Structure 1
Amino acid sequence: MNANVGTIDRTLRVLVGAVLIGLAATGTVGLWGYVGVIPVLTGLFSFCPAYALLGLNTCGLKK
Protein backbone atom coordinates (compact mmCIF):
# COMPACT_ATOMS: atom_id res chain seq x y z
CA MET A 1 0.00 0.00 0.00
CA ASN A 2 1.88 3.02 -1.30
CA ALA A 3 0.95 6.51 -0.15
CA ASN A 4 -1.05 8.37 -2.79
CA VAL A 5 -2.37 11.33 -0.76
CA GLY A 6 -0.18 14.42 -0.46
CA THR A 7 0.27 16.73 2.52
CA ILE A 8 -2.27 19.40 1.56
CA ASP A 9 -4.78 16.74 0.52
CA ARG A 10 -4.26 14.91 3.84
CA THR A 11 -4.78 18.08 5.87
CA LEU A 12 -7.97 19.01 4.04
CA ARG A 13 -9.35 15.48 4.35
CA VAL A 14 -8.78 15.34 8.09
CA LEU A 15 -10.24 18.83 8.66
CA VAL A 16 -13.34 18.29 6.52
CA GLY A 17 -13.90 14.84 8.02
CA ALA A 18 -13.58 16.17 11.56
CA VAL A 19 -16.03 18.98 10.82
CA LEU A 20 -18.56 16.52 9.40
CA ILE A 21 -18.21 14.24 12.41
CA GLY A 22 -18.57 17.22 14.76
CA LEU A 23 -21.70 18.43 12.97
CA ALA A 24 -23.20 14.94 13.12
CA ALA A 25 -22.34 14.59 16.81
CA THR A 26 -24.06 17.89 17.65
CA GLY A 27 -27.13 17.03 15.60
CA THR A 28 -26.63 19.88 13.12
CA VAL A 29 -26.67 17.43 10.23
CA GLY A 30 -28.13 13.95 10.15
CA LEU A 31 -26.37 10.67 10.64
CA TRP A 32 -24.90 10.99 7.16
CA GLY A 33 -22.32 13.34 8.70
CA TYR A 34 -20.53 10.35 10.14
CA VAL A 35 -19.37 9.61 6.60
CA GLY A 36 -16.62 12.04 7.66
CA VAL A 37 -14.84 9.02 9.14
CA ILE A 38 -13.79 8.04 5.61
CA PRO A 39 -11.81 11.19 4.76
CA VAL A 40 -10.28 11.20 8.24
CA LEU A 41 -9.02 7.64 7.81
CA THR A 42 -7.75 8.18 4.27
CA GLY A 43 -5.95 11.30 5.46
CA LEU A 44 -4.38 9.57 8.44
CA PHE A 45 -3.20 6.57 6.41
CA SER A 46 -2.13 8.68 3.36
CA PHE A 47 -3.89 6.19 1.11
CA CYS A 48 -7.12 6.58 -0.82
CA PRO A 49 -8.53 3.45 -2.51
CA ALA A 50 -10.44 5.59 -5.02
CA TYR A 51 -7.21 7.34 -6.04
CA ALA A 52 -5.58 3.93 -6.51
CA LEU A 53 -8.42 2.75 -8.77
CA LEU A 54 -8.32 5.94 -10.83
CA GLY A 55 -4.53 6.10 -10.98
CA LEU A 56 -4.35 9.44 -9.16
CA ASN A 57 -1.57 10.54 -6.86
CA THR A 58 -1.27 13.86 -5.01
CA CYS A 59 2.03 12.99 -3.34
CA GLY A 60 5.11 14.87 -4.41
CA LEU A 61 7.60 13.35 -6.76
CA LYS A 62 9.76 10.64 -5.26
CA LYS A 63 13.45 11.38 -5.44
Structure 2
Amino acid sequence: MNEPTWRKPAGMLLILLLIAIWSVAVVMLVEELGLPLWASGIAFVAGGVAWLWLFPMKRLLRWMELGSWR
Protein backbone atom coordinates (compact mmCIF):
# COMPACT_ATOMS: atom_id res chain seq x y z
CA MET A 1 0.00 0.00 0.00
CA ASN A 2 1.35 3.39 -1.00
CA GLU A 3 1.72 6.08 1.61
CA PRO A 4 -0.10 9.34 0.95
CA THR A 5 2.01 12.17 -0.37
CA TRP A 6 1.87 15.86 0.45
CA ARG A 7 0.39 16.48 -3.01
CA LYS A 8 -3.07 15.21 -2.09
CA PRO A 9 -3.78 17.53 0.87
CA ALA A 10 -2.10 20.44 -0.93
CA GLY A 11 -4.18 19.71 -4.03
CA MET A 12 -7.40 19.55 -2.03
CA LEU A 13 -6.70 22.93 -0.46
CA LEU A 14 -5.85 24.39 -3.85
CA ILE A 15 -9.08 23.00 -5.32
CA LEU A 16 -11.11 24.62 -2.54
CA LEU A 17 -9.30 27.91 -3.06
CA LEU A 18 -9.89 27.82 -6.83
CA ILE A 19 -13.58 27.06 -6.33
CA ALA A 20 -13.97 29.99 -3.93
CA ILE A 21 -12.14 32.45 -6.19
CA TRP A 22 -13.94 31.32 -9.32
CA SER A 23 -17.36 31.42 -7.63
CA VAL A 24 -16.86 35.01 -6.52
CA ALA A 25 -15.59 36.00 -9.98
CA VAL A 26 -18.53 34.40 -11.81
CA VAL A 27 -21.12 35.92 -9.46
CA MET A 28 -19.59 39.37 -9.87
CA LEU A 29 -19.50 39.01 -13.66
CA VAL A 30 -23.09 37.77 -13.96
CA GLU A 31 -24.36 40.53 -11.65
CA GLU A 32 -22.48 43.13 -13.72
CA LEU A 33 -24.05 41.84 -16.94
CA GLY A 34 -27.55 42.02 -15.45
CA LEU A 35 -28.73 38.85 -17.17
CA PRO A 36 -32.23 37.46 -16.63
CA LEU A 37 -32.53 34.61 -14.16
CA TRP A 38 -32.61 31.83 -16.77
CA ALA A 39 -29.57 33.24 -18.59
CA SER A 40 -27.72 33.62 -15.29
CA GLY A 41 -28.29 29.95 -14.56
CA ILE A 42 -26.91 28.97 -17.95
CA ALA A 43 -23.91 31.27 -17.44
CA PHE A 44 -23.16 29.72 -14.03
CA VAL A 45 -23.33 26.18 -15.36
CA ALA A 46 -21.30 26.94 -18.49
CA GLY A 47 -18.66 28.87 -16.56
CA GLY A 48 -18.32 26.20 -13.92
CA VAL A 49 -18.10 23.28 -16.30
CA ALA A 50 -15.90 24.89 -18.93
CA TRP A 51 -13.30 26.59 -16.79
CA LEU A 52 -13.22 24.84 -13.46
CA TRP A 53 -13.51 21.20 -14.49
CA LEU A 54 -12.14 20.93 -18.01
CA PHE A 55 -9.02 23.07 -17.90
CA PRO A 56 -7.18 23.53 -14.57
CA MET A 57 -8.88 20.78 -12.57
CA LYS A 58 -7.90 18.04 -14.98
CA ARG A 59 -4.23 18.98 -14.66
CA LEU A 60 -4.45 19.51 -10.92
CA LEU A 61 -6.08 16.13 -10.30
CA ARG A 62 -3.48 14.44 -12.51
CA TRP A 63 -0.69 16.16 -10.55
CA MET A 64 -2.22 15.06 -7.23
CA GLU A 65 -2.31 11.45 -8.37
CA LEU A 66 0.83 11.08 -10.47
CA GLY A 67 3.08 13.98 -9.54
CA SER A 68 3.24 15.16 -13.15
CA TRP A 69 1.44 18.03 -14.91
CA ARG A 70 1.29 16.19 -18.25
For the superposition of Structure 1 and Structure 2, which TM-score range results when normalised by the shorter chain? 0.3 to 0.5
Between Structure 1 and Structure 2, the one with more helix by share is 2
TM-score, scaled to structure 1:
0.42
TM-score, scaled to structure 2:
0.39
Name which one, 1 or 2, has greater alpha-carbon Rg: 2
